[in-house]
């Protein structure tokens, strides 16, 4: 979908096995990520909340605004502020990512 001249975002259902591990602890493990591709950015994996250890995360007071996706909320670990984000009310063009979590460092696991 074209969002602005020269800027494009697509969201598609992925089948990759992705995992997020920090200090030896698995924070997320999913075989059903949403892949968000955005002009000028790396592919981001948005993971369903059922596949994320939300019990380990603490809501942050941080928030950011993206003109293409909307307002993001963040979660932290004690030693890793704003480690993960989500769009509670994303713009309609990327509505599929609502409630899904995205980590900065996501590993694609070769099965």
Per the CB < 8 A criterion, the answer to whether 96 and 34 are in contact is: yes
pLDDT tens-place string over residues 31-81: 999 999 999 999 999 999 999 999 999 999 999 999 999 999 999 999 999
Number of domains in the chain: 1
Per the CB < 8 A criterion, the answer to whether 47 and 57 are in contact is: no
101 pLDDT more than 80: yes
Residues 8-13 have a mean pLDDT of 96
Nearest to 47 by CA among 93, 104, 97: 97
Residues 88-95 have a mean pLDDT of 95
Per the CB < 8 A criterion, the answer to whether 20 and 111 are in contact is: no
In terms of residue numbers, what domain contains 23?
2-109
Please, which residues have CB within 8 angstroms of residue 19's CB and are 6 or more apart in sequence? Answer: 26, 28, 29, 30, 106, 107, 109
Return the CATH number at 84.
Answer: 2.170.150.40
| Torsion-angle region of 21 (φ positive above 0: left; ψ -120 to 50: alpha; else: beta) | beta
């Amino acid at each position: 979908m074209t969002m602005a001249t020269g800027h494009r975002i697509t969201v598609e259902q992925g089948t990759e096995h992705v995992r997020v591990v920090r200090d030896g602890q698995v924070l997320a493990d999913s075989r059903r990520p949403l892949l968000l591709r955005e002009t000028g950015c790396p592919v981001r994996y948005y993971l369903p909340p059922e596949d994320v250890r939300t019990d380990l995360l603490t809501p942050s007071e941080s928030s950011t605004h993206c003109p293409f996706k909307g307002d993001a909320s963040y979660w932290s670990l004690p030693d890793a502020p704003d480690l993960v984000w989500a769009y509670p009310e994303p713009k309609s063009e990327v509505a599929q990512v609502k409630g899904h979590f995205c980590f900065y460092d996501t590993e694609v696991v070769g099965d």
